[in-house]
Every structure is written in C-alpha cells, then in structure tokens.
Amino acid sequence: GEVTMDYIYEIVLVYGMYIRYYILLLNRNQLRKLINECESLWNECNDAEHRLIVKFERKVRKLFLFLFYSSNFVNVLYIAAAVNLNRHAVTSNTTDTRVLPAKWFVVDRVDAWPGYEVTFFLQVLLIFNACIVSSIADSSAPILMMFSSGYFATLTKRFEDMVMTEDREQFDRQFVAASKFHQKLLHFSNGINKVGQMLFLCQLLCSGYNMSIIGIKLSGTDPHRFKYLPNLLTSLAELLICQYAPDYLLTESEAVSTAAY
C-alpha cells in the first residue's frame, strides 16, 4: 500500500546515503592521496591555467548546491506536512493521529506516546544530517573529476601553444614537461576511478530504484501523488551528477589526444 511504498522509498534513500558515506570513509586514505595529488598538479599550473580549471570546478559546484538545497526543501516539506497534520488532529480533538516526519523505527501514528516529541526531534536531526552526508558523499568524486577535466584542458592548451614555438630546444622542454604532467594526470584519474566507481554504482542503483517507485506512484490514481515531484527532481539531480562529471572528463581527455596529434 501507500505506507509500505513510502517506507521503502525512505529506507532506500537514507540507507543509500550512509552506504555511500561509509564507502567514502573506507577509502579515506586513497582520497587523501588524491587530494594531495590534485594540489601538486595545481601548483604546476600558472595563474591563467588556474582560471581555466576553476571554470570546471564551478560547474559541479552548482550541481552540489542544487542537490543540497533541493534535498533540504524536500525535508522541510516532510516536516511541515507532519506538523500540519498534527495541528489538524488537535483542532479535531483526536489523539490517535500524531504523525512523524518519517516512518523509521516506529509506526507512523502514535497514541499519546510520551516519547513522540523526542522521536520527532531525532528524526528531524537525522533527516538534515542525511542531507548533508548525501551532498558531500555524492559530490566528492565529481569535484575531483572536474578538477581532472580542468587539468586536461590546460594540457590541451599547452600542446596547442607548442605549435607556435620556433625554438627546437624550447619545444623539447615544453613537450617533456607536458608529457610528465600527462603521466601524473593519468595516475590521478585512475585513482579517482578506484574511489568513485563504487560510489557511482551505489548512487545509480538507489536513485534508479527510488525513481521507479516514484514512477509507480505518479502513474496511479492517488490524488496526492504529485507531492513526490520534489523527490523525483532530487533523484534526477543525483543521476545527473553521476553522468555529468565523467562526460566532461571523457571529452577533455580525448581533446588532449587530438591536440597532441
């Protein structure tokens, strides 16, 4: 029924968030090495190349902000709905319709339970904590990928600038430096792949499963089915993050080979 489907959606959503967080936590040593490598590559670039790299980083930052604010907006809707239903129950002189924001660990409706307020408060904290955890975990690998895309773009620019170099010795020095930079960049990208592949797989499965649940709800006859549209937008944003950064990385890496040729 409706309660069961809502419960499954919430469980998949929250557990998926924390699974991705713990995957990131288990790979924290590798992540620290990637951040150090990213900083090392950054130090090898000049100011003009820094501005080019930042343009790529800003693209995924906008997606992160959209995911963060949209998920918070959905959380506020859940909490406001619970508060509104409870207020309606008070005005109707009923005592058996106190609704919690989420259906975790306890039943949805409780009758004069003294722990209701504590559970309500803990669920609110858990909801917003899950939102923060999800936004950080889901954007960690894409941010590194966009930095890698920016480094590939600077490398492409270096190869293109070599065409205008007339001095043979200067050309050789530039080519050797660009080749070493490319080797470091490939090692950096391979490290991102090791950390990000499990994150993306978990995110893809959880978001795809929840989107299928929302699709079933939207295709039904429930008059309140459109309340799931914000959840659908959040799931779409998560899938977009899965595909957005890898597409940029693939495009920029291919551009390097074209420029070198």
Query: pLDDT by residue (tens digit) across 231-258?
Result: 787 778 778 777 888 888 899 988 888 8
CA neighbor of 139 nearest in space, from 241, 53, 59, 235: 241
Residues 6+ away with beta carbon under 8 Å from 202: 16, 19, 20, 23
Residue 97 has pLDDT above 70, yes or no: no
pTM: 0.80
**Cα maximum dimension of the chain:** 89
The position carrying tokens 């600077």 is 154
Average pLDDT over residues 187-193: 93
Pull the structure tokens for residue 151: 């480094």
> How confident is the model at residue 4, as a pLDDT?
66
pLDDT at 1: 44
Long-range contacts of residues 225-234, Cβ cutoff 8 Å, at least 24 apart: 227/77, 230/70, 230/73, 230/74, 230/77, 231/9, 231/74, 233/70, 234/67, 234/70, 234/71, 234/74
- The pair of structure tokens assigned to 146 is 């966009």
Amino acid identity of residue 36, one-letter, is N
Count of residues making up the chain: 261
